[in-house]
Structure 1
Protein backbone atom coordinates (compact mmCIF):
# COMPACT_ATOMS: atom_id res chain seq x y z
CA UNK A 1 0.00 0.00 0.00
CA UNK A 2 0.87 3.64 -0.18
CA UNK A 3 3.11 4.98 2.58
CA UNK A 4 3.24 8.59 1.42
CA UNK A 5 2.37 10.83 -1.50
CA UNK A 6 3.31 14.21 -2.98
CA UNK A 7 1.10 16.77 -4.60
CA UNK A 8 2.33 18.62 -7.66
CA UNK A 9 4.25 20.82 -8.03
CA UNK A 10 7.07 19.73 -5.75
CA UNK A 11 10.79 20.46 -5.56
CA UNK A 12 13.61 17.95 -5.87
CA UNK A 13 14.62 18.77 -2.27
CA UNK A 14 11.10 17.99 -1.07
CA UNK A 15 11.05 14.69 -2.99
CA UNK A 16 14.46 13.77 -1.61
CA UNK A 17 13.42 14.56 1.96
CA UNK A 18 10.24 12.51 1.65
CA UNK A 19 12.15 9.57 0.14
CA UNK A 20 14.64 9.69 3.01
CA UNK A 21 11.77 9.67 5.52
CA UNK A 22 10.16 6.63 3.86
CA UNK A 23 13.50 4.80 3.83
CA UNK A 24 14.05 5.63 7.48
CA UNK A 25 10.61 4.30 8.42
CA UNK A 26 11.14 1.12 6.40
CA UNK A 27 14.46 0.51 8.15
CA UNK A 28 12.78 1.06 11.52
CA UNK A 29 10.27 -1.68 10.69
CA UNK A 30 13.00 -4.29 10.05
CA UNK A 31 15.93 -5.50 12.05
CA UNK A 32 18.23 -2.68 12.98
CA UNK A 33 21.89 -2.42 13.69
CA UNK A 34 22.97 -1.87 17.30
CA UNK A 35 22.00 1.52 18.71
CA UNK A 36 24.32 4.36 17.70
CA UNK A 37 27.11 5.30 20.00
CA UNK A 38 27.97 8.83 21.00
CA UNK A 39 28.30 11.27 18.09
CA UNK A 40 31.13 13.78 18.56
CA UNK A 41 31.45 17.02 16.64
CA UNK A 42 34.14 19.24 18.10
CA UNK A 43 33.25 19.80 21.77
CA UNK A 44 29.74 18.41 21.27
CA UNK A 45 28.96 14.88 22.44
CA UNK A 46 25.51 13.53 21.60
CA UNK A 47 24.23 10.21 22.93
CA UNK A 48 21.08 9.35 20.94
CA UNK A 49 20.32 6.27 23.04
CA UNK A 50 20.31 8.14 26.35
CA UNK A 51 19.06 11.37 24.72
CA UNK A 52 21.87 13.39 26.29
CA UNK A 53 24.00 16.10 24.78
CA UNK A 54 27.08 17.77 26.23
CA UNK A 55 29.11 20.76 25.14
CA UNK A 56 32.69 20.78 26.43
CA UNK A 57 31.71 18.35 29.21
CA UNK A 58 28.66 20.32 30.39
CA UNK A 59 25.26 18.73 29.87
CA UNK A 60 22.90 20.75 27.68
CA UNK A 61 19.29 21.21 28.81
CA UNK A 62 17.52 20.62 25.49
CA UNK A 63 13.88 20.18 24.62
CA UNK A 64 12.88 17.06 22.71
CA UNK A 65 12.77 18.98 19.42
CA UNK A 66 16.10 20.74 20.05
CA UNK A 67 17.73 17.39 20.80
CA UNK A 68 16.25 15.80 17.67
CA UNK A 69 17.39 18.77 15.55
CA UNK A 70 20.92 18.69 16.98
CA UNK A 71 21.18 14.91 16.58
CA UNK A 72 19.96 15.02 12.98
CA UNK A 73 22.47 17.73 12.03
CA UNK A 74 25.32 16.05 13.96
CA UNK A 75 24.71 12.88 11.99
CA UNK A 76 25.60 14.87 8.86
CA UNK A 77 28.49 17.09 10.00
CA UNK A 78 29.50 19.72 7.48
CA UNK A 79 26.57 18.88 5.18
CA UNK A 80 24.11 21.66 4.36
CA UNK A 81 20.60 20.41 5.13
CA UNK A 82 17.63 22.06 3.41
CA UNK A 83 14.82 23.38 5.60
CA UNK A 84 12.30 21.09 3.88
CA UNK A 85 14.44 18.11 4.83
CA UNK A 86 14.56 19.31 8.44
CA UNK A 87 10.77 19.61 8.46
CA UNK A 88 10.38 16.11 7.01
CA UNK A 89 12.98 14.42 9.22
CA UNK A 90 12.84 16.26 12.53
CA UNK A 91 9.26 17.53 12.56
CA UNK A 92 7.86 14.60 10.53
CA UNK A 93 5.98 17.11 8.34
CA UNK A 94 6.12 17.74 4.63
CA UNK A 95 5.00 21.33 5.05
CA UNK A 96 5.60 24.12 7.51
CA UNK A 97 6.94 27.55 8.09
CA UNK A 98 10.63 28.42 7.92
CA UNK A 99 10.03 30.51 11.03
CA UNK A 100 9.46 27.31 13.03
CA UNK A 101 12.95 26.15 12.12
CA UNK A 102 14.46 29.61 12.69
CA UNK A 103 13.01 29.79 16.21
CA UNK A 104 14.27 26.34 17.17
CA UNK A 105 17.70 27.07 15.67
CA UNK A 106 17.80 30.32 17.65
CA UNK A 107 17.01 28.52 20.92
CA UNK A 108 19.57 25.83 20.12
CA UNK A 109 22.22 28.44 19.27
CA UNK A 110 21.59 30.19 22.58
CA UNK A 111 22.12 26.92 24.45
CA UNK A 112 25.33 26.33 22.47
CA UNK A 113 26.55 29.81 23.47
CA UNK A 114 26.45 31.30 19.99
CA UNK A 115 24.38 33.60 17.80
CA UNK A 116 23.52 33.63 14.10
CA UNK A 117 25.92 36.56 13.67
CA UNK A 118 28.71 34.70 15.49
CA UNK A 119 28.19 31.00 14.80
CA UNK A 120 30.42 28.32 16.28
CA UNK A 121 28.62 25.10 15.36
CA UNK A 122 25.38 26.02 13.56
CA UNK A 123 25.91 27.80 10.26
CA UNK A 124 23.02 29.09 8.16
CA UNK A 125 23.51 29.42 4.43
CA UNK A 126 20.83 31.88 3.39
CA UNK A 127 18.39 30.42 0.92
CA UNK A 128 20.05 26.99 1.10
CA UNK A 129 19.87 25.50 4.58
CA UNK A 130 21.84 24.93 7.75
CA UNK A 131 24.87 22.83 8.67
CA UNK A 132 26.59 21.78 11.86
CA UNK A 133 30.36 21.70 11.89
CA UNK A 134 33.04 21.96 14.57
CA UNK A 135 34.59 25.36 15.22
CA UNK A 136 37.93 26.02 13.59
CA UNK A 137 40.80 24.67 15.65
CA UNK A 138 38.78 21.96 17.42
CA UNK A 139 38.98 18.23 16.86
CA UNK A 140 37.03 17.11 13.81
CA UNK A 141 34.12 14.75 13.76
CA UNK A 142 33.69 11.29 15.23
CA UNK A 143 30.47 9.78 13.84
CA UNK A 144 28.96 6.71 15.45
CA UNK A 145 30.34 3.38 14.27
Structure 2
Protein backbone atom coordinates (compact mmCIF):
# COMPACT_ATOMS: atom_id res chain seq x y z
CA UNK A 1 0.00 0.00 0.00
CA UNK A 2 1.25 3.51 -0.79
CA UNK A 3 -0.10 6.99 -0.12
CA UNK A 4 0.99 9.66 -2.58
CA UNK A 5 0.35 13.37 -2.74
CA UNK A 6 -0.76 14.39 -6.24
CA UNK A 7 0.32 17.66 -7.92
CA UNK A 8 -3.11 19.21 -7.22
CA UNK A 9 -2.61 18.69 -3.46
CA UNK A 10 -5.00 15.76 -3.06
CA UNK A 11 -3.93 12.43 -1.62
CA UNK A 12 -4.11 9.10 -3.39
CA UNK A 13 -4.12 5.64 -1.85
CA UNK A 14 -2.57 2.90 -4.00
CA UNK A 15 -3.21 -0.71 -3.08
CA UNK A 16 -0.68 -2.95 -4.78
CA UNK A 17 -1.58 -6.42 -6.01
CA UNK A 18 -5.26 -5.51 -6.35
CA UNK A 19 -7.18 -4.84 -9.54
CA UNK A 20 -10.36 -2.80 -9.95
CA UNK A 21 -13.30 -5.09 -10.59
CA UNK A 22 -16.04 -2.49 -10.68
CA UNK A 23 -16.29 1.30 -10.59
CA UNK A 24 -19.54 3.14 -9.89
CA UNK A 25 -20.17 6.88 -9.57
CA UNK A 26 -23.08 7.63 -7.27
CA UNK A 27 -25.41 10.65 -7.64
CA UNK A 28 -23.66 12.19 -4.61
CA UNK A 29 -20.41 12.27 -6.70
CA UNK A 30 -18.93 9.54 -4.54
CA UNK A 31 -16.98 6.89 -6.41
CA UNK A 32 -17.16 3.29 -5.25
CA UNK A 33 -14.38 1.04 -6.45
CA UNK A 34 -14.42 -2.69 -5.79
CA UNK A 35 -10.95 -4.23 -5.74
CA UNK A 36 -9.89 -7.87 -5.88
CA UNK A 37 -6.63 -9.79 -6.11
CA UNK A 38 -5.53 -10.45 -9.70
CA UNK A 39 -6.91 -13.57 -11.26
CA UNK A 40 -4.51 -16.45 -10.97
CA UNK A 41 -4.17 -17.78 -14.48
CA UNK A 42 -1.51 -20.35 -15.10
CA UNK A 43 1.13 -18.77 -17.29
CA UNK A 44 3.00 -21.38 -19.29
CA UNK A 45 6.77 -20.96 -19.10
CA UNK A 46 7.36 -22.33 -22.54
CA UNK A 47 5.71 -22.57 -25.89
CA UNK A 48 4.54 -25.99 -27.12
CA UNK A 49 7.92 -26.53 -28.81
CA UNK A 50 9.68 -26.07 -25.44
CA UNK A 51 11.19 -22.67 -26.27
CA UNK A 52 10.61 -19.75 -23.89
CA UNK A 53 7.78 -17.51 -24.99
CA UNK A 54 9.08 -14.05 -26.00
CA UNK A 55 7.61 -10.97 -24.36
CA UNK A 56 5.42 -9.03 -26.80
CA UNK A 57 7.24 -5.80 -25.87
CA UNK A 58 10.86 -5.46 -24.69
CA UNK A 59 12.45 -2.19 -23.65
CA UNK A 60 16.15 -1.31 -23.82
CA UNK A 61 16.19 1.74 -21.55
CA UNK A 62 19.90 2.46 -22.10
CA UNK A 63 19.51 2.65 -25.88
CA UNK A 64 15.91 3.96 -25.58
CA UNK A 65 14.68 1.37 -28.07
CA UNK A 66 11.52 -0.69 -28.04
CA UNK A 67 11.30 -4.17 -29.54
CA UNK A 68 7.81 -5.34 -30.46
CA UNK A 69 7.55 -8.87 -31.89
CA UNK A 70 11.15 -8.70 -33.06
CA UNK A 71 10.73 -5.29 -34.73
CA UNK A 72 12.82 -2.41 -33.47
CA UNK A 73 10.89 0.81 -32.86
CA UNK A 74 12.25 4.22 -31.99
CA UNK A 75 9.62 6.18 -30.09
CA UNK A 76 9.61 9.89 -29.27
CA UNK A 77 10.71 10.69 -25.70
CA UNK A 78 7.27 11.07 -24.10
CA UNK A 79 5.88 7.92 -25.70
CA UNK A 80 8.99 5.92 -24.81
CA UNK A 81 8.87 7.07 -21.17
CA UNK A 82 5.18 6.18 -20.89
CA UNK A 83 5.60 2.72 -22.43
CA UNK A 84 8.74 1.98 -20.40
CA UNK A 85 6.92 2.85 -17.16
CA UNK A 86 4.00 0.55 -17.99
CA UNK A 87 6.26 -2.34 -19.08
CA UNK A 88 8.40 -2.03 -15.91
CA UNK A 89 5.21 -2.56 -13.86
CA UNK A 90 3.26 -5.34 -15.64
CA UNK A 91 -0.26 -6.10 -14.45
CA UNK A 92 -0.40 -2.89 -12.38
CA UNK A 93 -3.16 -0.43 -13.16
CA UNK A 94 -2.21 3.24 -13.20
CA UNK A 95 -4.56 6.21 -13.19
CA UNK A 96 -3.87 9.02 -15.63
CA UNK A 97 -2.75 11.17 -12.71
CA UNK A 98 -0.27 8.52 -11.55
CA UNK A 99 1.16 8.22 -15.05
CA UNK A 100 1.49 12.00 -15.39
CA UNK A 101 3.25 12.23 -12.00
CA UNK A 102 5.58 9.29 -12.72
CA UNK A 103 6.43 9.98 -16.35
CA UNK A 104 6.07 13.76 -16.79
CA UNK A 105 6.12 15.30 -13.28
CA UNK A 106 6.65 18.87 -14.51
CA UNK A 107 3.94 18.73 -17.19
CA UNK A 108 0.98 21.01 -16.41
CA UNK A 109 -1.34 19.90 -19.22
CA UNK A 110 -4.55 17.92 -18.89
CA UNK A 111 -4.35 14.30 -17.82
CA UNK A 112 -6.07 13.52 -21.15
CA UNK A 113 -2.57 13.96 -22.58
CA UNK A 114 -2.01 10.39 -21.38
CA UNK A 115 -4.88 9.18 -23.60
CA UNK A 116 -3.32 10.83 -26.66
CA UNK A 117 0.10 9.30 -26.00
CA UNK A 118 -1.38 5.84 -25.26
CA UNK A 119 -3.17 5.98 -28.63
CA UNK A 120 0.08 6.92 -30.39
CA UNK A 121 2.04 4.17 -28.64
CA UNK A 122 -0.58 1.58 -29.60
CA UNK A 123 -0.51 2.75 -33.22
CA UNK A 124 3.29 2.48 -33.34
CA UNK A 125 3.28 -1.00 -31.74
CA UNK A 126 0.94 -2.34 -34.39
CA UNK A 127 -1.42 -5.33 -34.32
CA UNK A 128 -0.70 -7.83 -31.57
CA UNK A 129 1.67 -5.96 -29.25
CA UNK A 130 -0.73 -3.01 -29.00
CA UNK A 131 -3.19 -5.29 -27.18
CA UNK A 132 -0.74 -5.58 -24.27
CA UNK A 133 -1.57 -1.97 -23.31
CA UNK A 134 -5.04 -2.37 -21.87
CA UNK A 135 -7.58 0.20 -20.75
CA UNK A 136 -9.07 -0.31 -17.30
CA UNK A 137 -12.33 1.58 -17.76
CA UNK A 138 -12.95 4.27 -15.19
CA UNK A 139 -9.39 3.93 -13.84
CA UNK A 140 -6.57 4.18 -16.40
CA UNK A 141 -4.14 1.83 -18.14
CA UNK A 142 -1.91 -1.17 -17.56
CA UNK A 143 0.57 -3.35 -19.40
CA UNK A 144 -0.76 -6.87 -19.58
CA UNK A 145 1.46 -9.18 -21.64
CA UNK A 146 -0.45 -11.90 -23.45
CA UNK A 147 -0.10 -15.41 -22.00
Q: Distance in 1 between matches of 2:144 and 2:107?
A: 26
- Matching of residue 71 in structure 1 with residue 84 in structure 2: yes
- Deviation string 1:103-122 (CA, Å, 9 cap, x unpaired) is 1000000011149xxx6111
- What SS does the aligned partner of 1:98 have? coil
Kindly state the Cα deviation for residue 61 of structure 1 after the two structures are TM-superposed: 2.6
The one of 49, 61, 66 equivalent to 2:74 is: 61
Kindly state the Cα deviation for residue 7 of structure 1 after the two structures are TM-superposed: 5.7
Larger mean CA deviation between 93-102 and 82-91 belongs to 93-102
Q: Distance in 2 between matches of 1:100 and 1:135?
A: 26
**Residues 121 and 132 in structure 1, CA contact (< 8 A), matched pair in contact too:** yes
The one of 72, 83, 103 equivalent to 1:90 is: 103
Question: Any unmatched runs of 5+ in structure 1?
Answer: 15-40, 137-145
- Deviation string 1:38-63 (CA, Å, 9 cap, x unpaired) is xxx82211011111111111111311
TM-score, normalised by the number of residues in structure 2: 0.61
Select the structure that is richer in helix. 1
**Residues 95 and 140 in structure 2, CA contact (< 8 A), matched pair in contact too:** yes
The alpha-carbon distance between structure 1 residues 54 and 43, as it changes in their structure 2 partners (threshold 3 A), is same
TM-score, normalised by the number of residues in structure 1: 0.61
Q: Distance in 2 between matches of 1:101 and 1:90?
A: 10
Alignment-derived partner of residue 31 in structure 2: none
Where does structure 1 differ by over 2 angstroms across 4 or more consecutive aligned residues?
4-8, 93-96
The one of 133, 141, 147 equivalent to 1:130 is: 141
- Deviation string 1:36-95 (CA, Å, 9 cap, x unpaired) is xxxxx8221101111111111111131111110011001100100111111111111475
Bigger CA radius of gyration: 2
The number of residues matched between the two structures is 103
Higher RCO, Cα 8 Å, sep 6+: 1
C-alpha RMSD of matched pairs (Å): 2.7
